[in-house]
Amino acid sequence: MKNCATLGSFLFALAAAIGPASAQQALSYDVTVPAVSRPSDLFSPGGRPADFLGVGLGQTDSDIRKLLTGQHFSHEDPSTLFLLDEEYFTVEIVASGPNRYLTSSIWSGPEDPTTTQSVRAEFSSPLAGSLSINVQRFVRYAAERGPLLTTLREAIIQKYGPPSFDNKTQMLWFWRDGRLVASDAHDKQMAISIDTDGDYVKGVTYSLLDDAARQANWDQIDRFQKSVADGAKQVRDAHATAPKL
């Protein structure tokens, strides 16, 4: 009984020391979402930004939802992330505003006995406007039910123009300032990878990537988190007990 009483006293003291979050001093940082304009340097064959089923770079989740639900895709597996949410004994650090934001979504294509497909979009944080920075479309065809390789390649080149690199089943487009270039523009690119079975296409992976925007997004997140961590340290240091010597 004595041990139980001692344990109960310890837990009560611990709870009192920690205290509820509402009793702590709160340090809150607003998330400032800058006005973000659509990128002007996207690859735009035929005068329109490159896309897969209408989905491309610089779009919001709402943009993509509208495009894909109109084509009978279903939304599944949205992934989210906390921008920052930390709690300490004497100070609660909370990044106010859109703390939890969408990082990616996967959309499953309509039912079809010959084809299965999905679309995945990766988004920047609210600090960078929550726009798509990496878009992929995955297509698989039933045995000998896919298009001929020559037919698919003709359709691809008709829509996007000749690629910067082409070995028949691997096609790459690099661009700078919206214009196609031969190479050395790896921060913005489109890739189409084709899996074949003889003359037939078994599967296709389509990718649009703005790696520079992705890196800029993580740079903004790093700076934001450091500013909050620095603020938290100042508050914790102010609460530190002065030593008695």
Per-residue pLDDT tens over the stretch 99-135: 678 899 999 998 788 999 999 999 998 888 889 999 9
Question: pLDDT of 154-207, one tens digit each?
Answer: 999 999 999 999 999 999 998 877 677 877 656 578 999 999 999 999 999 999
| Domain annotation covers residue 100 | yes
**Total number of domains constituting the chain:** 1
| Domain annotation covers residue 146 | yes
| Domain annotation covers residue 18 | no
| Domain annotation covers residue 242 | no
| Cβ atoms of 224 and 95 closer than 8 Å | yes
| Domain annotation covers residue 244 | no
Helix, strand or coil for residue 98? Answer: coil
Token representation of residue 46: 């035929």
| Domain annotation covers residue 179 | yes
pLDDT for 233 equals: 76
Residue 21 — very low, low, confident or very high, per pLDDT cuts 50/70/90?
A: very low
pLDDT for 207 equals: 96
Structural domain span for residue 158: 42-236
Residue 177 Rama label (left phi>0; alpha psi -120 to 50; beta): left
Distances (CA, A) of 10 to 15, 16, 88: 9, 10, 20
| Domain annotation covers residue 196 | yes
| Domain annotation covers residue 29 | no
